[in-house]
């Protein structure tokens, strides 16, 4: 189904004040077309995943070049926030939640769904987990063994699903595609689809939904991808190893966003860093139980639990793998 994609060295970060580099123009398409249509198709399939990697790769590069002129204040011994300030510090407990904390509901044609995070104000959350701006749903979903959903379509919503465990298939737009652990599918707004689980165990999914504006023209095709079909990208935030999805058909989102699987090797730590108001970044633990530095709190993050980085430029986050096996996250990134 998927075609392999090779890439050269990672792009270096731009100089301070420079415009963001054209990180996704990996080569002039007219030249590539003369070389091989297969390469062109592979690069097009990578564009959506690389859009999310802007946060992981380009922004750290810019920060490294400006580090000498402006050291990160979170490392300064005499920083104003070298003490905790209860009542003034961001309450990071509002930005992390687990699907087990929400009741089940039926959705999307018959899936059993439970919220992880919900829409709200990420600057002043009114409830735990109510922090989403660019997504309308962020959930765990399940299709029981031997079950199937009804055909379902929503003209104002498109859906991303990621297989956490189990196997099944998706039927949409006159085609059928097998889904196994680690596979993803993007269902455009208005496209009718149906999920089938012929196996003897439940099909466990992560599901995210995006509401689309009136003037958005969605794709007309189902996109299916797998992160194991891509070469890993290394070097961001000390220890992150990014695994973008390689899709059979390039998906189209209404916002500048994407999903990437990120791993952290055994007994390693990612660089603590913050995010501005323009960013929405969410990390869902897929494999392993990590330690999470969020603000000035040290938390445990379990599979099925996700956190959104407060977009205030005051709350560093860092994932820590204290164990002896690699750990895995599903990363969502959007920058307006």
What span, in angstroms and rounded, lies between the C-alpha atoms of 161 and 180? 12
Q: What is the DSSP string of 46-68?
A: HHHHHHHHIIIIIHHHHHHHHTT
pLDDT level of residue 75 (50, 70, 90 thresholds): low
Per-residue pLDDT, 46:
52
Instruction: Look at residue 56 and tell me whether its pLDDT is greater than 90.
Output: no
**What is the pLDDT averaged over residues 72-87?**
70
Flag whether 13 is in a domain. no
Confidence of residue 242 (pLDDT cuts 50, 70, 90): very high
Please give the Cα distance from 60 to 195 (Å, whole number): 39
CA distances from 53 to 110, 218, 242, 281 (A): 33, 22, 8, 11
Residues facing 168 on adjacent strands: 179
Sign of the four-CA dihedral 275, 281, 285, 286:
negative
Exposure string of 81-106, with b = 16+ CB inside 10 Å and e = fewer, is eeeeeeeeebebebbbbbbeebeeee
Task: Output 83 or 38, whichever has higher pLDDT.
Answer: 83
Taking the C-alpha atoms of residue 188 and residue 185, their distance in angstroms, rounded to an integer, is 10
> Which CATH number is 214's domain given?
2.60.120.10
Please work out, in degrees rounded to the nearest 5, the angle formed at the alpha carbon of residue 14 by the alpha carbons of 8 and 20.
90
* Pick from 272, 278, 276, 323: nearest CA to 302: 323
**What is the SS3 assignment for 65?**
helix
Token representation of residue 48: 């959506």
pLDDT band, very low/low/confident/very high, at 124 (cuts 50, 70, 90): very high
Asked whether 182 and 226 are in contact (CB, 8 A), the reply is: yes
* 213 belongs to a structural domain: yes
- The token pair at 154 is 């929503």
Please report which confidence band the pLDDT of residue 48 belongs to, taking 50, 70 and 90 as the band edges.
low
Per residue in 287-309, pLDDT (tens digit) is: 999 999 999 999 999 999 999 99
Token pair belonging to 92? 């990071």
Q: Is the pLDDT of residue 35 over 90?
A: no
Residue 269 is part of which domain span?
75-335
- Is 301 part of a structural domain of the chain? yes
Query: What pLDDT digit, counting tens, does each position of 144-172 carry?
Result: 999 999 999 999 999 999 999 999 999 99
Q: Residue 9: is its pLDDT beyond 50?
A: no
Residue 1 in domain: no
Q: What is the pLDDT of residue 330?
A: 98
Residue 330 lies in a domain: yes
Identify whether 61 is part of a domain. Answer: no
Residue 23 has pLDDT above 90, yes or no: no
pLDDT tier, 133 (very low <50, low <70, confident <90, very high otherwise): very high
Residue 68 within a domain: no
* Sequence-distant contacts of 39-43: CB under 8 A, at least 24 apart: 41/3, 42/3, 42/4, 42/5, 42/246, 43/5
Strand order in 168-172's β-sheet?
Answer: 175-179, 168-172, 193-196
CA 198, distance to chain mean position in Å, is 28
Domain count for the chain: 1
pLDDT band with cut points at 50, 70 and 90 for residue 15: very low
Residue 171 and residue 225 in contact, taking contact as beta carbons nearer than 8 Å: no
The model carries a pTM of 0.82
225 or 54: which carries more pLDDT confidence?
A: 225
**Residue 153, C-beta contacts closer than 8 angstroms, at least 6 positions apart:** 190, 191, 192, 193
- Residue 29 forms part of a structural domain: no
Give residue 5's pLDDT: 37
């Amino acid at each position: 189904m998927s075609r392999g994609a090779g890439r050269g060295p990672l792009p270096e970060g731009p100089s301070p004040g420079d415009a963001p580099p054209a990180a996704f123009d990996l080569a002039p398409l007219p030249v590539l077309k003369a070389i091989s249509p297969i390469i062109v198709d592979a690069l097009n399939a990578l564009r959506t995943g690389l859009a999310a990697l802007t946060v992981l790769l380009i922004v750290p590069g810019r920060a490294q070049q400006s580090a000498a002129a402006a050291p990160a204040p979170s490392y300064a011994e005499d920083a104003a926030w070298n003490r905790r300030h209860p009542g003034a510090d961001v309450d990071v407990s509002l930005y992390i939640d687990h699907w087990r904390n929400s009741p089940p509901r039926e959705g999307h044609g018959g899936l059993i769904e439970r919220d992880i995070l919900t829409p709200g104000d990420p600057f002043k959350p009114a409830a735990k987990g109510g922090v989403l701006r660019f997504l309308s749903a962020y959930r765990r979903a399940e299709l029981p063994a031997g079950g199937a959903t009804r055909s379902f379509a929503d003209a104002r919503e498109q859906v991303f699903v990621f297989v956490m465990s189990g196997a099944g298939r998706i039927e949409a737009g006159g085609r059928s595609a097998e889904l196994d652990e680690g596979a993803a599918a993007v269902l455009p707004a208005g496209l009718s689809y149906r999920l089938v689980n012929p196996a003897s165990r439940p099909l466990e999914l992560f599901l995210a939904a995006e509401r689309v504006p009136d003037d958005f023209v969605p794709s007309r095709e189902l996109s299916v991808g797998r992160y194991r079909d891509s070469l890993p990208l290394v070097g961001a935030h000390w220890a992150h190893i990014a695994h973008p999805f390689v899709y059979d058909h390039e998906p189209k989102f209404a916002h500048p966003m994407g999903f990437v699987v990120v791993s952290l090797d055994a007994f390693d730590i990612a660089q603590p860093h913050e995010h501005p108001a323009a960013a929405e970044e969410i990390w869902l633990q897929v494999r392993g139980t990590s330690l999470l530095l969020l603000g000035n709190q040290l938390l445990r993050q379990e599979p099925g639990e996700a956190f959104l980085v407060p977009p205030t430029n005051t709350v560093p986050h860092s994932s820590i793998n204290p164990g002896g096996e690699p750990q895995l996250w599903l990363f969502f990134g959007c920058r307006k």
